[in-house]
Structure 1
Amino acid sequence: MTSPINYAKLFGFESVAAAGIFAALYAPLTVWFFLLLIRHRSYVVFTLFIFCQIRFVAFIIRAILAGSETAAENLDLFIAGEVLFSVGFFGLLYGAYGLVMDRLAFCSIVPFDNILNRLMRSRIFFHLGLSTGVALGIVGIVETSNNSSSTIGSVLRKVSVIIFVVLTVLQAYQTVTLVIAERRDDLSERIRYLGTSMGARHGVLIFMLIAILLLLREIFIVATIGSTAKQNNEHLWYPLVALPELLCIILYAVPGLIPPNRSDVFNLPK
């Protein structure tokens, strides 16, 4: 009779406390973005709210896997946790891209305004790329979890990672575009549209920090793409993957960073 596999030990899930702390930190953030969603109904806020929910559940599952040997032998629970971690990044990256695009909409002059850059600013194409990366990642996770030697599963996961890296670089490029646009723009007009809150005044700096954190996460994922043991090493995974994500979502919560609804803005008195 084949002995059951402890997936937590196999993939390096050791710390119950770390997973529990991150789950506890995501709980109030989930509530915050839910309240924000009620006041500011937009797809970007919705994706950030879903991201917080997904991370909250994913870290609870990770804590259970690390703390219970019985649970750690449950393949379905392990796959569920891995899929949630993979899917969740969709919301975080789209949130950054969507908010930068929203902020660019308030700029009177957008630099590099050519066909290629308009295509890169297309939310449809960005969303399609994210969806493709998520789908390939999920299939790859299921394949490799059921068969660790699966070549197809490994290839699909690597392709998914590459797609996310490309989109993360693209998001960083759009952030640089926003920096240039706002430096050329009329500050008084932007304040009239966006307000005087911290997020409205210093949004560019915050978006640059978010772009750097997202790039840090993806650089680590790419650097360890050929070694599951290194990628799942909790001494590296928590500070280079989990922490940058948490810092990003905290930055998203800065008051005024999410611009007002466009319908409200365009109806402002001249």
Structure 2
Amino acid sequence: MSSSHPVNFAEAFGYHSEAAAILFAVLYLPLFCFFCFQSFARPTYVHVVMAVFCAIRIAAFVLRSVLVAVAADGEKLGLLIADQVLLGIGYFGLLYSAYTLVLDIEIMLGRPESPNPIIRLAKNRHLFRLVSVIAVALVVVSTSAIKSDGSISSSAKTQRDVGVVIFLVLTAFQALQTLILAKEEIATSHNEKRTNERFGSRHAMSILLLASVLLLVREIFSVATVNNAAKQDAEHFWYPFIALPEILATLCFTAPGLVPRRKELQQQYSQDGLSVV
């Protein structure tokens, strides 16, 4: 790719469909409104973070549509980097919300501490946040290193690869915790009648397992194509394996009664000698 000619970054990075980008931006809008409302009506960490996540996704898809629309005008490197950075940052919010929700529901159910040291370590929220921030930083720094000719240095590529792998490991831990909690729930409450509970709390494990599978699909695709940018960025792969799993996982968190109320969490945490994080 010659640096003497303007680079069409939309085509270089697989951006072709303006309509698809606009569609996803529109689909995220009611989700953003829902989580904003819940953040005031039932303020919890999950609702607030999910509102921020939806706002980031709306901005990212708007930038994506703009980039496609103005691609013929020449170099739009700034728009591309901003869009890629938003995509990288946003996933942290979605993953950490899923992770937090599983731990909160586990506390609400009064499950005992696991004797497995690896599982206990994975439940350390501060450590999970720290490692997630490191992964985000690696992805953002590597994305910001995209050159004016569309290329990227080997060191930046390595940073991005490491960040993507870290996200896969964290997503796998989140899915494992969800699976363990679901098995415990089945083993201890298979004879309980739960008809008076809201849909989200009654089917919490099924919903969280579905969300975990969707996040795993996203991350497995990202790692599987990390060395094949053309395939990863191609819209006929990117939308089904990245964008669609994300928005479906987001929809899972809208289930009525799925997210425990902050007051309930505070009461349960105080009983267990813990604090709401």
Whether these two folds match at TM > 0.5 is yes
String of CA shifts for 1:179-211, please: whole Å, max 9, x gaps. 12322445799969xx61110000000000001
User: Counterpart of 2:34?
Assistant: 32
Alpha-carbon distance in 1 for matches of 2:217, 2:178: 15
Amino acid at match of 1:89: Y
User: Could you tell which deviates more after superposition, 201-210 or 176-185?
Assistant: 176-185
User: Counterpart of 1:254?
Assistant: 255
CA contact (8 A) 2:113 2:120 kept: no
Count of paired positions? 266
User: Counterpart of 1:96?
Assistant: 98
Alpha-carbon distance in 1 for matches of 2:110, 2:193: 9
Alpha-carbon distance in 1 for matches of 2:103, 2:193: 15
Alpha-carbon distance in 2 for matches of 1:224, 1:112: 35
User: Could you tell which deviates more after superposition, 155-164 or 177-186?
Assistant: 177-186
Matched, 1:157 2:135: no
Alpha-carbon distance in 1 for matches of 2:161, 2:92: 16
CA-CA distance at 1:43 after TM superposition: 2.2
CA-CA distance at 1:150 after TM superposition: 0.3
Matches within 5 A, 1:62-211: 62-69=64-71, 73-110=75-112, 112-146=114-148, 148-186=151-189, 196-211=197-212
Amino acid at match of 2:130: L
CA-CA distance at 1:149 after TM superposition: 4.0
CA-CA distance at 1:178 after TM superposition: 1.1
Alpha-carbon distance in 2 for matches of 1:145, 1:199: 46
CA-CA distance at 1:4 after TM superposition: 1.7
Amino acid at match of 1:40: R
Alpha-carbon distance in 2 for matches of 1:263, 1:72: 54
Alpha-carbon distance in 1 for matches of 2:206, 2:154: 42
User: Could you tell which deviates more after superposition, 137-146 or 94-103?
Assistant: 137-146
Amino acid at match of 1:217: R
User: Counterpart of 1:237?
Assistant: 238
User: Counterpart of 1:3?
Assistant: 5
Cα RMSD of the aligned pairs, angstroms, is 2.4
Distance 1:190 1:176, change over 3 A: farther
Amino acid at match of 1:242: A
Alpha-carbon distance in 2 for matches of 1:226, 1:88: 22
String of CA shifts for 1:56-80, please: whole Å, max 9, x gaps. 0000000011111256622111100
Amino acid at match of 2:67: L
The SS at the match of 2:257 is coil
User: Could you tell which deviates more after superposition, 52-61 or 144-153?
Assistant: 144-153
Amino acid at match of 1:14: H
Amino acid at match of 2:204: G
User: Counterpart of 1:219?
Assistant: 220
CA contact (8 A) 1:71 1:77 kept: no
CA contact (8 A) 1:64 1:71 kept: no
The one of 41, 44, 68 aligned to 1:42: 44
CA-CA distance at 1:265 after TM superposition: 5.8
Unaligned runs of 5+ in 2: 272-277
Alpha-carbon distance in 2 for matches of 1:122, 1:91: 17
Amino acid at match of 1:226: N
User: Counterpart of 1:59?
Assistant: 61
Distance 1:239 1:111, change over 3 A: same
Amino acid at match of 1:229: A
Alpha-carbon distance in 2 for matches of 1:145, 1:104: 46
CA-CA distance at 1:3 after TM superposition: 2.3
CA contact (8 A) 1:111 1:177 kept: no
String of CA shifts for 1:219-262, please: whole Å, max 9, x gaps. 11111110111000000100111000000001111111101221
Distance 1:189 1:110, change over 3 A: farther
Distance 1:33 1:229, change over 3 A: same
TM-score, normalising length from structure 2? 0.89
